[in-house]
Amino acid sequence: MSAEKLLERFKKVRCTGRGRWVACCPAHDDHSPSLALRELDDGRVLVHCFAGCSAHEVVSAVGLDLGDLFPPRKIGFGNGKPERRPFHAADILRCIATEALVVAMAATRLQAGAPAGNDRKRLLLAVQRIYQAMDAGGISHVK
């Protein structure tokens, strides 16, 4: 399936470059785009949710399966080589902007002495999502 046909199934789709888009993830309650999509030259479509949903969960939520992310195989056509850094840094930053805002807000509330219960849990989730985004971008980090 082409990227254009696939993109029709997502909300708040925005083109971020040639063959690159961000959209709201249909696999979770997404209010701002946390899903990055990229169409490679050979027709494969890469999908990554920076909130942690698997590619299977994402395509299943729009009534597709993982096979729909690949072009039809041609006889004698070899497998495409894996991408070293499949997602552009700007797309990763756009998708984690909300998480960075959550970190700033939670840290401010905690510093002011606000009760830590839900803020601490949400802060830890935001940090986890930022680490996942770094992994998707091939960026090393210390845990």
Residue 83 vs residue 14, higher pLDDT: 14
Same domain, 59 and 18: yes
> Taking the CA atoms of the chain, what radius of gyration do you get in angstroms?
17
HSE of 56, CA atoms in CB hemisphere, 13 A? 0
pLDDT score of 80: 58
pLDDT in tens, 10-29: 999 999 999 999 999 999 99
pLDDT over 70, % of the chain: 87
Q: Which of 31-35, 40-44, 73-77 has the lowest mean pLDDT?
A: 73-77
Arithmetic mean of pLDDT, 53-63: 92
pLDDT at 129 (0 to 100): 82
Do 93 and 126 fall into the same domain?
A: yes
Confidence check: pLDDT of 65 > 80: yes
Q: Are residues 95 and 56 in the same domain?
A: no
When divided into structural domains, the chain yields a total of 2
Instruction: Say yes or no: 44 and 97 in one domain.
Output: no
The verdict on 94 and 65 lying in the same domain is no
Structural domain of residue 16, as residue ranges?
3-69
- Whether residues 12 and 59 share a domain: the answer is yes
Query: Dihedral angle at the C-alpha atoms of 45, 14, 49, 128, nearest 10 degrees?
Result: 140
